[in-house]
Amino acid sequence: MTATQTPAEVRTQIRDAVATVEFSNPARRNALSAALMADLARTLGALGDDPSVRVVVLRGAGTQAFASGADIGEFRRPAHGATGPEEGAFSIVDAAASRLFAQLSALPMPIIARIHGYCLGAGMALALGADLRFADTESVLGIPAARLGVGYPLDQTAALVETVGPAAAGDMLFTGRRLTAREALAIRLVDRVVEPHDLGPVVDEVAAMIAANAPLSVRASKTSIRAVRGQGTGQDNQSAARGLATEAIARCPSSRDLREGALAFLEKRQPRFTGE
């Protein structure tokens, strides 16, 4: 089977409480088609309900790209009720993207984006949905919406501004230029840059460190970070986020994991947390 005949797919591997989600669209440098985004959303939803999963790692298949953007080839396909092929395709892709990013933001466990090669457009939005972004030195990152006539979605623009600030976000969106990994690190678009051969081991090491910690504590931290990030949102949303964070924190003192952590400290051994 040739590369162009290989179907787009999502593959998941769970090992030692770390779920690695690999999305593949080799014919288009892992471009995110509507079907691929729908598969990703379903996969993430299932992982969010799996108590055995403590960390999720997102990665693109192969060596060329994390994700090169939305699948532009779909924008010429008509949809029922649309006045033209572009309108119909955009509505389908937008709906799939909205479901994916909503599912991504709902995951209770930390998410690490493992970035290599091209990370553009919708791929950049996917990476921005992660809690941590690690890239190798050969990565190329950008949002070419202005070069395509696309209005970058508001929620993803908000995530970008929150991550890099309004000036750097404006630079990326207005120019559509591509950044090197080092440039991305300088504006905090990514959290760490390593050589290509070190990317896998570094991501695995950090994921293992997170997975070894008390799940309730880690989830409480993620919920609290969400609440702090939402301070600029409406009062109702902010109040709800702070309420969820308060509940998550309150679960920790009565947990078995707290007793296990204290006992392991006194016995000078590694704790064995169960998430209870």
pLDDT of res. 89: 56
Domain 3-210, CATH: 3.90.226.10
The answer to whether the beta carbons of residues 108 and 56 sit under 8 Å apart is no
Question: Global pTM?
Answer: 0.89
pLDDT in tens, 122-163: 999 999 999 999 999 999 999 999 998 888 989 899 999 999
Q: In sequence order, what are the beta bridge partners of 60?
A: 23
Q: Which contiguous run of DSSP H or E holds residue 9?
A: strand 9-15
Res 234 pLDDT > 60: no
What is the mean pLDDT of the segment spanning 96-116?
A: 94
Given phi > 0 = left and psi -120 to 50 = alpha, else beta, which region is 224?
Answer: alpha
Of 122, 132, 120, 131, the closest CA to residue 101 belongs to 122
Q: What are phi and psi of 56, to 5 degrees?
A: -120, 130
Q: If you average pLDDT over residues 227-247, what whole number do you get?
A: 76
Structural domain boundaries in the chain: 3-210, 214-266
